[in-house]
């Protein structure tokens, strides 16, 4: 199988109590690099995203769930029961990392909070993911759309004359998952040096504010509150999309040399000598005039035509692709975008291929591996409970 061999995180066990996106994305990244991730799910329901469809694959499994849960084993634990919580503690006792994204305070009420488990397992790295932290914002639900709204991202996304718009993917969840995985690896590095685990905390709002980078810095440093500019850039021009003859094209001019090449290729070489457009600051100040000129010239040919010419001259440019075109473009560049993981059908009668997006992390000696397809609900419960110490296979009993 592609990526065979030892993973960089081989021997690391992660008890994954998270669901939906930020936590599962973080644990999938760890799993791709070799960690043994045990996904803890609720009886009968499992991860919420199992029911988020359409779309679904040929077996009726949500493609949302499939997108962030490969290389994991699934175990059903009823955390409302004494037996289920005992099984959870037994699992954590044999794990290096715990990841959870319940509302703050939930794990403590279940007897699975950071302090209690660290007392039993001093080397445990315990990662909590929340929407708005564990303080005054603890009760606010952590939904990506909500965070995009209150965190300022929607205020800079969309056309100036239109309504605020969310990003086309749950971007804040993804960014938070990346921060969580980085925090976990840093805590593991510290544990390697000291033997001590620690509590890693990340939240969606803080992650978004950090990811707003130049826009956030404009406010923090200069007091500038940015607004919506469509596809234009607040500090660079021309750096946006234009209408070519057939479809939009993105042009990202970052310096004067690139602008001179662009001007020459569109048949307006004097633009680079025009006082309105000599420097980037000039072009930003006169962006509307420049846009009108470029739009007229670019409308004379298709986006692919202009892209080929501009890229050959060192000017960053490309058509606005649909997702299928984006995967095809990656393939054309020799960048693998899709991997097929062998998977048995639900009844085990035949072997199928589960299509997945390739990990973006390239490691020369310990590359990402694709060992397991996303698991069925509770698929590995018996296997995992059998290996836990004590009577871990005892039935769950409801707390009365």
CATH of residue 311: 3.30.1540.10
Provide the pLDDT confidence category of residue 26 given band limits of 50, 70 and 90. Answer: very high
Provide the pLDDT confidence category of residue 399 given band limits of 50, 70 and 90. Answer: very low
Is 85 in the same domain as 178? yes
Is 187 in the same domain as 311? no
Strands 97-100 and 239-243: unpaired
Residue 129: give the domain boundaries: 13-212+361-387
Is 160 in the same domain as 301? no
Q: 195-204: per-residue pLDDT in tens?
A: 999 999 999 9
Is 203 in the same domain as 254? no
Task: Inform me whether the pLDDT recorded for 1 exceeds 70.
Answer: no
pLDDT at 60: 85
Is 399 domain-assigned? no
Q: Among 287, 303, 319, where does a domain finish?
A: 319
Task: Inform me whether the pLDDT recorded for 398 exceeds 60.
Answer: no
Q: 154-179: per-residue pLDDT in tens?
A: 999 999 999 999 999 999 999 999 99
| Cα(325)–Cα(62) distance, integer angstroms | 23
Q: Could you tell me the CA-to-CA distances from 392 to 91, 167, 181, 194, 379 in Å, in that order? A: 9, 44, 29, 31, 16
173 in active site = yes
Catalytic residue selected from 32, 47, 144, 173:
173
Average pLDDT for 202-224 = 97
Is 100 domain-assigned? yes
Average pLDDT for 267-277 = 96
CB distance 158 to 189 below 8 Å: no
pLDDT at 394: 53
Task: Inform me whether the pLDDT recorded for 396 exceeds 60.
Answer: no
Q: What is the CATH number of the domain that holds 373?
A: 3.40.50.10540
Q: Is the dihedral of CA 90, 91, 95, 100 positive or negative?
A: negative
Is 268 domain-assigned? yes
| Number of structural domains found in the chain | 2
> How is residue 334 written in tokens?
């020799």
| Cα(262)–Cα(259) distance, integer angstroms | 5
Is 49 in the same domain as 160? yes
| Cα(349)–Cα(187) distance, integer angstroms | 43
pLDDT at 344: 77
Task: Inform me whether the pLDDT recorded for 41 exceeds 50.
Answer: yes
Give me the percent of the chain exceeding a pLDDT of 70: 94
Provide the pLDDT confidence category of residue 340 given band limits of 50, 70 and 90. Answer: very high
pLDDT at 3: 44
Is 47 in the same domain as 94? yes
pLDDT at 112: 97
Is 152 in the same domain as 262? no
Is 325 domain-assigned? no
Give me the percent of the chain exceeding a pLDDT of 90: 90
Q: What is the mean pLDDT of the chain?
A: 93
CB distance 203 to 133 below 8 Å: yes
Task: Inform me whether the pLDDT recorded for 5 exceeds 80.
Answer: no
Average pLDDT for 372-387 = 95
Is 373 domain-assigned? yes
Is 164 in the same domain as 276? no
Using a 10 angstrom Cβ sphere, with 0-12 exposed, 13-18 middle and 19 or more buried, the burial of residue 168 is exposed
CB distance 301 to 246 below 8 Å: no
Is 307 in the same domain as 183? no
Task: Inform me whether the pLDDT recorded for 86 exceeds 50.
Answer: yes
Average pLDDT for 44-73 = 93
Is 172 domain-assigned? yes
Task: Inform me whether the pLDDT recorded for 393 exceeds 90.
Answer: no
Is 60 in the same domain as 192? yes
Is 229 domain-assigned? no
DSSP string, 276-329: TTSSHHHHHHTHHHHHHHHHHHHTTS-HHHHHHHHHHTT--EEE---HHHHHHH
Average pLDDT for 74-88 = 97
Average pLDDT for 113-127 = 96
Instruction: Say if residue 237 is preceded by a cis peptide, omega within 30 of 0.
Output: no
Task: Inform me whether the pLDDT recorded for 10 exceeds 50.
Answer: yes
Is 160 in the same domain as 289? no
pTM summary value? 0.92
pLDDT at 348: 62
Q: Among 267, 292, 319, where does a domain finish?
A: 319
CB distance 71 to 37 below 8 Å: yes
Is 29 in the same domain as 142? yes
Q: Residue 169: helix, strand or coil by DSSP?
A: coil
Q: 294-318: per-residue pLDDT in tens?
A: 999 999 999 999 999 999 999 999 9
Provide the pLDDT confidence category of residue 400 given band limits of 50, 70 and 90. Answer: very low
């Amino acid at each position: 199988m592609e990526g065979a061999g030892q993973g960089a995180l081989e021997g690391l066990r992660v008890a994954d109590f998270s669901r939906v996106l930020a936590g599962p994305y973080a644990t999938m990244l760890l799993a791709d690099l070799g960690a043994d991730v045990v996904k803890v799910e609720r009886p009968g329901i499992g991860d919420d995203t199992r029911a988020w469809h359409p779309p679904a694959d040929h077996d009726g499994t949500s493609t949302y769930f499939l997108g962030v849960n490969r290389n994991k084993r699934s175990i059903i634990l009823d955390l409302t029961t004494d037996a289920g919580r005992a099984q959870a503690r037994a699992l954590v006792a044999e794990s290096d990392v715990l990841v959870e994204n319940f509302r703050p305070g939930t794990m403590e009420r279940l007897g699975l909070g950071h302090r209690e488990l660290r007392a039993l397992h001093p080397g445990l790295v315990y990662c909590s993911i929340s929407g708005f932290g564990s303080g005054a914002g603890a009760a606010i639900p952590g939904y990506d759309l909500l965070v995009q709204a209150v965190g300022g991202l929607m205020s800079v996304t969309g056309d100036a004359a239109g309504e605020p718009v969310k990003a086309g993917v749950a971007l804040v969840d993804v960014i938070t998952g990346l921060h969580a995985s980085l925090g976990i690896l840093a805590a593991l590095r510290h544990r390697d040096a000291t033997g001590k685990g620690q509590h890693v905390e990340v939240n969606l709002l803080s992650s978004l504010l950090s990811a707003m980078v130049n826009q956030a810095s404009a406010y923090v440093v200069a007091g500038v509150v940015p607004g919506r500019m469509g596809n234009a850039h607040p500090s660079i021009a021309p750096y946006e999309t234009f209408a070519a003859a057939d479809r939009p094209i993105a042009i990202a001019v970052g310096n004067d040399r690139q602008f001179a090449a662009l001007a020459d290729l569109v048949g307006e070489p004097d633009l680079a000598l025009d006082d309105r457009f000599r420097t980037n600051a000039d072009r930003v100040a006169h962006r509307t005039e420049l846009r009108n000129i470029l739009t007229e010239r670019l409308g004379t040919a298709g986006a692919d035509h202009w892209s080929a010419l501009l890229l050959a001259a060192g000017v960053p440019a490309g058509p606005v692709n649909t997702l299928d075109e984006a995967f095809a473009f990656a393939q054309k560049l020799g960048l693998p975008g899709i991997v097929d993981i062998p998977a048995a059908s639900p009844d085990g009668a035949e072997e199928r291929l589960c299509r997945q997006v390739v990990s973006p992390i390239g490691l020369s000696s310990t590359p990402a591996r694709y060992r397991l397809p996303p698991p069925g609900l509770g698929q590995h419960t018996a296997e995992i409970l059998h290996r836990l110490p004590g009577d871990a296979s005892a039935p769950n009993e409801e707390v009365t």
